[in-house]
Structure 1
């Protein structure tokens, strides 16, 4: 999982992942849309592939890169316990705020 988050820590790789949410893209299109040269984009894609965030499909002379659902699911599963923890804390905070509002409203009535 460390390799995955290390891969995403680079702004260009994060931008590539965001771009690939639109669908499969060839490296030339990725490079052009993100104002990178093709070797740069290729290096970033290699890192993302090693981290299981993207996969590549060869179509004739072209290689199309797309998001790897298995790798993204692994990230989702790793984050889920933290999501539940924060959801519970925000629910508690909402309850405290609601109680404070009720008390403030009651104080104004008195």
Structure 2
């Protein structure tokens, strides 16, 4: 998967408010599907679909022990998006630096 595809999947996964809620909850520690479903007031099949999108997006991982499936955040869940944002910030700062340099080279007009 390319970096662009990874970023696209991440943004798609995080576009839904339920999924963002699950990420907020899971950032505090692992949780079972039932624990995630209870406060969201969503049916278990819908929760599983949302969690699958988060897992496909590389944000969470799951483990099944017996009949209980537990989800947790991937340790590197935000690495790709952080790198993407940092690159945009560097690009933007470089553009502002070029603008400041260009403005400094333009002589000021004097009032007569």
Q: What TM-score, normalized to structure 2?
A: 0.70
Cα RMSD for the two superposed structures: 2.1
Question: Once the two structures are superposed, what CA deviation does each residue of 1:46-101 show, in whole Å capped at 9, x if it has no partner?
Answer: 00000001100122321110111223211211211234567x59xx9xxxxxxxxx
Number of residue pairs aligned between Structure 1 and Structure 2: 90
- Tell me the equivalent position of 2:12: 6
Name which structure has the greater RCO, CA cutoff 8 Å, separation 6+. 2
- State yes or no: 1:39 paired with 2:21: no
Structure 2 unmatched ranges of 5 or more: 1-6, 98-112
- State yes or no: 1:30 paired with 2:36: yes
| Deviating more after overlay: 71-80 vs 44-53 | 71-80
| 2:78 paired residue among 72, 76, 83 | 72
Looking at structure 2, the residues matched to 72 and 58 of structure 1 have their Cα atoms a distance apart, in angstroms, of 24
Structure 1 unmatched ranges of 5 or more: 93-110
Looking at structure 2, the residues matched to 59 and 77 of structure 1 have their Cα atoms a distance apart, in angstroms, of 34
